[in-house]
Structure 1
Amino acid sequence: MWKLVVGFIVFAAAALYMISQGGDIDMGGEKHGIESHGPAHDASAPASAAAAPASDASAAK
């Protein structure tokens, strides 16, 4: 029985060590919504903004 307790403590310590060395880890679960997209979503904004003047130019003709 004591071997199980010691094994659990060693496993838990190893898991916590690996998690702490992992960097920015989000343990919040699944994300739904616009705030879950992060920087990748912001990168698509200039592309859509650049496309808008092109459509305005064709409408001005």
Structure 2
Amino acid sequence: MWKLVVGFVVFAAIALYVISKAGDKIDMSGEKHGGDTTHEPAPAAAPK
């Protein structure tokens, strides 16, 4: 049983380390709808 607890603590520590190193690259704010869903700039209009 103690191995399970140690394994969970190690996994949680690694997960927190990875999340903290990712910084702003991970968005934890939930689902997005509308114009804020894409991170790409809008395509430029074709010249006539």
Interval containing the TM-score (normalised by the shorter chain) = 0.5 to 0.7
Larger Rg: 1
More helix by share: 1
Report the aligned-residue RMSD.
Answer: 2.0
Taking structure 2 as the reference length, the TM-score comes to 0.68
Which position in structure 2 is the counterpart of 1:12?
12
Which position in structure 2 is the counterpart of 1:34?
35
Identity %: 64
Residue ranges of structure 2 left out of the alignment (5+ in a row): none
Aligned residues: 47
Residue ranges of structure 1 left out of the alignment (5+ in a row): 55-61
Taking structure 1 as the reference length, the TM-score comes to 0.57
